[in-house]
Each structure stands twice: as C-alpha cells, then as structure tokens.
Amino acid sequence: MEKILNYINGELVEPTSGNYLDNYNPSNGQVYSLVPDSEESDINNAVLAAKEAFNSWSKTPKQERANILMKLADTIEKYSSELIKAESKDNGKPENLAAHVDIPRAPANIRFFAGAILHDSSQMHEMDGVAINYTLRQPVGVAACISPWNLPLYLLTWKIAPALASGNTVVAKPSEITPMTAFMLSKICIEAGLPKGILNIVHGLGSKIGDPLTTHIDTPIISFTGGTVTGKHIARVTAPMFKKVSLELGGKNPNIIFADADFDKAVSTAARAAFTNQGQICLCGSRLFIQEEIYKKFKIALIEKTKKLKVGDPKEISSNLGAIVSKEHMNKILSKIEEAKKLGGKILIGGKRVILDGELKDGYYIEPTIIEGLSSDCDINQTEIFGPVVSLIPFKTEAEVIDMANSTKYGLSASIFTENISKGHRVAANIDSGVVWINTWLLRDLRIPFGGMKQSGVGREGGFKSLDFFTEPKNICVKI
C-alpha cells in the first residue's frame, strides 16, 4: 500500500515514530494509502530545516524567488491530470470539480503571488522638511500553514504561495483526512528544484502535531484555515506568545432571494451554492432566505433543479455530487438531518444516505437535501453543518431578512439576488460578512481581501493583504 511521506529539508522522510494512519477513499470506504502519524520530533525537524533555510531564502532577490515559484507552478501544471484524479480519490469530490476548480487554482495561486511581489511597494511619510519615514516590509520567519480537507491543494497553495513569495520559509500541515495531493506536491517541489528547507510538509493528526507547530518558539506566524472550534484553540494557545495569526474559519452563509430577482438565475445559483463539493465549501449558501411572494414558486423550482442532480461515482463526468469526505463526517451530517426533523423541519427532497452499486456500495454518499419549516434561530439554522443540506426560510421585508441573516455567530459570506441595484447595495452594506456577492456566488478575484467577521475569522488574506500579513512592517525615520 502506498505510503505518504513527510517532506523535510528537501527530502521525503518517514515519520520518526515509524507509525502511520489509514487514509480512506471516500468513494468506496476502503483504505488505499497510509499517512504519517507524525509527532513533535517531526515538527521540530521541519521547523529547524525551515529556520536554517530562512537565512538565505529571505535574502534571495524577489525576481529570483518569483522565477523559482513560477517554475514550481509550471511543474504542478505538468501533473494536472494526476492531481485531479488524486484529489478526487482522496476527498470524494467529482473529478470534474477538481479539474475545474481545485487543481487549476494551485498553479494560479503560486503564479499570482510570484507576480505580486514584483509589483508591491511600501509607504513613505514625509515630515515637512524635517524627516522622511519609509516602511520596510520584511519576511517574518518560519510560517506555520495549516489547511483543511475540503479544498486540499487549493487552500494549501493559497497559503504557501504568499508566505514563500514574501521570503518566509514554511512548515505546512495539510489535513490528515486528505494528505495525498500535498504529498504529490512535495515530489513536484523536488522535481522543480525548490531550494531545500524553504517548504516542509508534515503530515499527521491536528490533535497531536497542531500544538507543537503553533506553539513552537520558532514559528512566529501562523496561517490557519479550518473549523471555528480549532481556530479558537489556536487563538488561545498562541495568544501568550504574541504570534501573528490569521484565522479563516467556518460559516453559515445566507443566500437572500428578493421577489424581484432574476428567477432562473437565482434558482440555479442557489442550487450550486448549496450543493457544490457536496456542500463542503466554507462559502456555501446553507441558509436560503426567500421573499414570501415567490417562496412557493421558488421552492418548487429548486426541488425540480435538485432532482436532476446526480449523486454518483466521482470519476464519472455526469456526477454532480460525489462522496462526503469521511464516514464520521457523513454520520454527523445525517444526524443533523435527523435533528432537523425532530425540530419540526420538513424534508422536501433528499435526507438520506445513498448506497451506490458494486464497488462503491460502502462509499459515503448523501442525497442533496432541502429542509423547510425551521425557525431562523434554531440550532440547524445557526451552526455549520458543512454538507449538502440547505434550509429554506421565508421573509417579508428587507429589515427582517437583514436581522435574520446577521443572527448567527458567523460572518463569512453572503449572496443577494435582486434586480434593484439600490437595494442590492443597501442590503450588502448591512450584512455582517467579509464577502457579499450580488447576483452571483463564489466569483473570486484573488486580489480582494478575503476573510470573515465574527467567529468566521480574524484577518484577511488575498492579494496585498496576504503580502502584508506575511511581512513585518518596519519604520525607518531619516532626519533631514
């Protein structure tokens, strides 16, 4: 069985303990590879390698850093078809989605930040003939980059690209649930000739190697994407060490459909926002607010649309939904659907596990599920489920829907559908979330400040915000 290895100081190495964890293929429920069960000693080795590499990498001219990263991006692209298959097998997502979303974004992330450092500038403040101040932006040191399982290579590269481009070195910890494409990336780094030690990838359980990485004295900067509970823990343990921390956390995103929306566009986008990647995108619209006048018509159209979605073999081009990432997560989603029923929710479509034929009979599939009849403040409508489950909530007025949209502890993203431009802008300005889309969903410009409000995160990543985060500003004051 294939063994995934850690990538430390430019080499593929076994975990020091020699222990491995099972890695599952969610499409058939079978173990298909082994992932290192790393320990503190592996983290220490990786941080040491990164610390040593920092001396030269932080002084490497920007153009040279950009050239090295561009070569890495080219080499990733060379292996696109293998990466697409691997991401789908490891995560359960349709290959078609990995081919259009996940894998193209990996080289795109790297090229974007390799280019961005060549176009960056810093500030100058003149003191009326007395002095000038200028700001140096210098790399911080060894960056700990921790990523989740829902968009494995996409989010890993979203972190390591700006960290490396800015002159930091990195110890990355991908999710133990989807380690395969990070392992493939480490082999690609070797082929691309990435300087030894600038990127290190340590696999293993967050509960075991998370603290040793985030509280290590030589990791002054942490970029984390994952659940709110884990984010709280990281905030708590790192606060006394005064580290720079960026947290990109969970969401319970409202999708607001006004009666004057472009009906067909709103229906198809609402279905996409609810069920893409089996509902396992932090930005998925899982609370669907529909204005009363069109509620019934919209509900019927959404059910019709959902009926046409095929849950099936992730390898087949016709599958719209693949498998849920793990058995534990599938059971959690199913238990939330049961809870919704107990609270009086009516399942309009879906709600059950799907058992596919033959080799895929033990895979983790769930029907796309639409629920109605739950109050906006019940637990199902307040906490993240992170599965193919959307809850319909009618509303009367603009003020009422803004209140309900803002009623959760989260504030990651929102979508508004209306043909009234003024209303769109007005509602967007009043929604507490880091990203608001009007008449669309998941349209991403890599330059925008991306992140969440409230318990959806702290800080922003993307564009120059990422370069700001991964550098330390230093004021130099020169007396004239």
248 noted as active-site residue: yes
Question: Looking at 98, 101, 106, 146, which residue binds ligand NAD (CB under 6 A)?
Answer: 146
Q: What are 98's two structure tokens?
A: 């990995």
Radius of gyration of the chain (CA): 23
233-272 binders of ligand NAD (CB under 6 A): 233-234, 248-251
439-478 binders of ligand NAD (CB under 6 A): 452, 457
Phi/psi region, residue 92 (left: phi>0; alpha: psi -120 to 50; beta: rest), is: left
In this complex, which beta carbon is closest to ligand NAD, that of residue 151 or of residue 360?
151
Shortest spacing between CB 224 and ligand NAD, in angstroms: 7
In this complex, which beta carbon is closest to ligand NAD, that of residue 147 or of residue 291?
147
The 391-410 contact track toward ligand NAD, x by CB under 6 A, reads --------------------
Rounded CA-CA distance 377/403 in Å is 11
Residue-by-residue DSSP string for 303-360? HHHHHTPPB--TTSTT-SB---S-HHHHHHHHHHHHHHHHTT-EEEE--SEE--SGGG
Question: Looking at 54, 79, 113, 149, which residue binds ligand NAD (CB under 6 A)?
Answer: 149
Residue 417 three-state SS: strand
328 noted as active-site residue: no
In this complex, which beta carbon is closest to ligand NAD, that of residue 232 or of residue 346?
232
Shortest spacing between CB 208 and ligand NAD, in angstroms: 9
Rounded CA-CA distance 161/114 in Å is 7
In this complex, which beta carbon is closest to ligand NAD, that of residue 361 or of residue 444?
444
In this complex, which beta carbon is closest to ligand NAD, that of residue 148 or of residue 285?
148
34: enclosing H helix or E strand: strand 30-36
By CB under 6 A, residue 104 contacts ligand NAD: no
Using alpha carbons only, give the angle 302, 305, 307 rounded to the nearest 5 degrees.
Answer: 110
In this complex, which beta carbon is closest to ligand NAD, that of residue 160 or of residue 360?
160
Question: Looking at 34, 49, 389, 412, which residue binds ligand NAD (CB under 6 A)?
Answer: 412
By CB under 6 A, residue 225 contacts ligand NAD: yes
Rounded CA-CA distance 279/285 in Å is 8
| Residue 247 half-sphere exposure toward CB, CA atoms < 13 A | 26
The 277-306 contact track toward ligand NAD, x by CB under 6 A, reads -----x------------------------
Residue 218's identity, in one-letter code, is: D
- Identify the active-site residue in 282, 367, 372, 384: 282
Residue-by-residue DSSP string for 369-415? EEEES--TTSGGGTS---SSEEEEEEE--HHHHHHHHTTSSEESEEE
CB contact at 8 A, 165 and 157: no
- Identify the active-site residue in 248, 367, 384, 461: 248
In this complex, which beta carbon is closest to ligand NAD, that of residue 7 or of residue 295?
7
By CB under 6 A, residue 386 contacts ligand NAD: yes
By CB under 6 A, residue 432 contacts ligand NAD: no
* Distance of alpha carbon 398 from the chain centroid: 30
CB contact at 8 A, 453 and 408: no
169-208 binders of ligand NAD (CB under 6 A): 173, 175-176, 206-207
Return the active site residues. 248, 282
The footprint of ligand NAD (CB under 6 A) covers 146-150, 155, 173, 175-176, 206-207, 210-211, 214, 225-227, 230, 233-234, 248-251, 282, 384, 386, 412, 452, 457
